[in-house]
């Protein structure tokens, strides 16, 4: 509920970053006729007078502008809409002020909602933060994608303290990535997590990028890990004629391979031999219905298979 209110409040802001960039880089006449303005969900003002009022207002609230309101500085130069090129600097100055106000508003609202969340939690449970500060004993280690649309706790109903979370592009577990290796080691050896979840999602931009034959600069070595997954399962994937279905299957196979990489680690192997946990799971999230799909990883079978070569149970 709280995050939805944050999202709603952000969408109620004067304009999105995309619209603002278009406003700065485009002459006013072309900007006012662009699809971003005409049909955008934020309903940015489309007439020159209302646009000027909107950009020059000093109010912190987008609702303060009305069709009859005047610019906050009546002595300021009003851009000549008939000849926008001659007043480009004025338009740009007004847009930059609007962007600065927008950034301040979106920053401040996060803290407003944080205070509301803290008050709500304390009201529901007066000991909530005392218990939270006592330490963490999460049941889950979550290794997910950095995609902003997949907050682990929200889609699973977990509470603060329930999951130790690591996220990166395309939910990769690379043995050369000291970040994810340290996370797994700490979660297993010190936090004693019972479940390790590798969660991918359909529509993953990282997986899609890896399927394209393009030089993506610094992303190349990272995405090569996904391309290697394609190489390992080339026959299966090439047999899928539908491109979207092939894309979705690569998402699933990537999750399975990353689960296998988790199982290869010494911490997981040794903890399981001693404690019978953690168990490794592979899940995929779908945006179309908001549901998680369990790929039914055979953890014990996978562990047995890899230990022919990757057996690290001896400390």
Q: Give catalytic status of residue 167 as yes or no.
A: no
pLDDT, tens only, 21-31? 544 444 444 43
Instruction: Single out the catalytic residue among 55, 145, 199, 259.
Output: 145
Helix (H) or strand (E) holding 201, with range, is strand 195-201
Tokens of 69: 């309101």
204 is in an annotated binding site: yes
Give which of 222, 210, 293 is closest to 246, Cα–Cα. 210
Domains of the chain, residue spans: 2-121, 136-310
CA-based radius of gyration for the chain: 25
Q: Give catalytic status of residue 199 as yes or no.
A: no
Distance CA 192, CA 275 (A): 10
147 is in an annotated binding site: yes
Tokens of 89: 């600097």
55 is in an annotated binding site: no
Q: Are 143 and 196 in contact (CB under 8 A)?
A: yes
Instruction: Single out the catalytic residue among 54, 101, 201, 281.
Output: 201
Instruction: Single out the catalytic residue among 104, 115, 149, 190.
Output: 149
Instruction: Single out the catalytic residue among 204, 259, 260, 281.
Output: 204
Q: Residue 163 has what DSSP assignment?
A: E
Distance CA 254, CA 296 (A): 14
DSSP string of 256-271, one letter each residue: HHHHHHHHTSHHHHHH
Tokens of 36: 């971003």
Q: Give catalytic status of residue 147 as yes or no.
A: yes
pLDDT, tens only, 42-74? 333 334 444 444 444 444 444 444 444 444 444
Fold of 136-310: Beta-carbonic Anhydrase; Chain A (3.40.1050)
Those residues of the chain that have pLDDT short of 70 are 1-87, 91, 315
Q: Give catalytic status of residue 149 as yes or no.
A: yes
Distance CA 182, CA 180 (A): 5
pLDDT, tens only, 105-136? 999 999 999 999 999 999 999 999 999 999 99
């Amino acid at each position: 509920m709280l995050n939805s209110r944050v999202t709603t409040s952000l969408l109620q802001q004067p304009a999105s970053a995309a619209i603002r960039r278009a406003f700065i880089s485009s002459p006013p006449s072309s900007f006012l006729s662009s699809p971003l303005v005409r049909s955008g969900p934020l309903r940015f003002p489309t007439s020159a007078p209302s646009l000027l009022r909107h950009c020059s207002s000093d109010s912190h609230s987008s609702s303060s502008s009305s069709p009859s309101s005047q610019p906050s500085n009546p002595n300021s130069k009003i851009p000549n809409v008939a000849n926008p090129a001659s007043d480009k600097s004025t338009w740009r100055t007004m847009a930059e002020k609007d962007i600065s106000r927008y950034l301040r508003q979106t920053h401040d609202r996060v803290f407003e909602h944080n205070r509301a969340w803290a008050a709500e939690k304390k009201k529901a449970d007066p000991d909530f933060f005392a218990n939270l500060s006592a330490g963490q004993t999460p049941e889950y280690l979550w290794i997910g994608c950095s995609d902003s649309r997949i907050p682990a706790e929200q889609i699973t109903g977990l509470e603060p303290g329930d999951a130790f979370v690591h996220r990166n592009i395309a939910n990769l577990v690379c043995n050369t990535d000291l970040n994810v290796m340290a996370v797994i080691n700490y979660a297993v050896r010190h936090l004693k997590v019972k479940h390790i979840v590798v969660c991918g999602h359909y529509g993953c931009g990282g997986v899609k990028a890896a399927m394209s034959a393009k030089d993506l600069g610094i992303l190349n070595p990272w995405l090569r890990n996904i391309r290697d997954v394609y190489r390992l399962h080339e026959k299966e994937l090439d047999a899928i004629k539908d491109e979207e279905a092939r894309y979705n299957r690569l998402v699933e196979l990537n999750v399975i391979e990353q689960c296998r990489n988790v199982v290869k680690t010494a911490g997981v192997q040794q903890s399981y031999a001693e404690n019978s946990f953690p168990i490794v799971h592979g899940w995929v999230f779908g945006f179309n219905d908001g549901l998680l799909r369990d790929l039914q990883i055979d953890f014990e079978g996978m562990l047995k298979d890899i230990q022919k070569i990757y057996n690290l149970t001896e400390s």
